[in-house]
Amino acid sequence: MRILLVSDLHYSLPQLDWVVGAAPSFDLVVLAGDHLDLSSPLGLDAQTVVILRYLLLLKDVTQVAVSSGNHDLTGPDANGEQAALWMAEARAAGVPCDGDSLLIDDTLITICPWWDGPLGRAQVEVQLAADAARRPARWIWVYHWPPLGSPTCWTGRRHYGDEDLVGWIDQYQPDLVLTGHVHDPPFKSDGSWADRIGDTWVFNPGRQIGPVPTHIEVDLDGGTATWTSMLGSEDLSLSAPSAPERSVV
């Protein structure tokens, strides 16, 4: 099974075009949040129309998993907490997204939303517990924010991660957690695109400008992961006890 991970495209249409072009070579394409761009002069309603079209293009050529990020929140949900309300339309069109789970052969993919308050957090806890009870050979989470203390959330000045995710990883030890949110870690000394926490690999591709997004290719059968950016490519073995040391200037 081959997975393509991208995140934080922030309404970059050239990068979305690249993802659509690359998608047929993968069994699963993961978009781990921040599809929209709050700083764009184009309104979020207009952006969501375009993003939904891209998601349908991807769905037509491969399996996809789409989580929300903080830029994707468009209004209060039934509990009064901010949510990516537009993803209901994606789900109705058959795109697995926030709160959904996807089973591909012996791999379960749990897609977690960006939660905005205690009720949203509680829903993620329920979601993870339910999928833990039916965990197959491999379990993958899509979760926009990397765990606190990991080099995948290092900004160059501080760790900017999710403390709750740390506890959930410790409790359940999924095989992979596919994240984004913090753009800088792969480009910073002491930061990284990969981290191993116990039995769990955490990946964050980061973000770059230009027509090709930073991206991570995971080959579950081959047991490898490769990060590609304007700096080149880096590889690791999923059987390694930790991520390899890096030399980032």
- pLDDT, tens only, 25-59: 999 999 999 999 999 999 999 999 999 999 999 99
The structure's pTM equals 0.98
Q: Label residue 248 by pLDDT band (50, 70, 90).
A: low
Tell me the three state secondary structure of residue 147.
Answer: strand
In the CATH scheme, what architecture does the domain 2-237 have? Answer: 4-Layer Sandwich (3.60)
Structure token digits, residue 243 = 């991520």
Q: Alpha-carbon distance 116 to 119, whole Å? A: 8
Do 185 and 204 form a contact (C-beta atoms < 8 A)?
yes
At residue 190, the pLDDT reads 94
Using alpha carbons, list the distances in angstroms from residue 188 to 49, 148, 205, 228: 35, 16, 13, 15
Host H or E run for residue 126: helix 118-132
Cβ 152 vs Cβ 203: under 8 Å: yes
Domain ranges of the chain: 2-237
Residue 233 tokens read as 């490519």
Q: How many angstroms separate the first and last alpha carbons of the chain?
A: 33
pLDDT at residue 247 in the model? 76
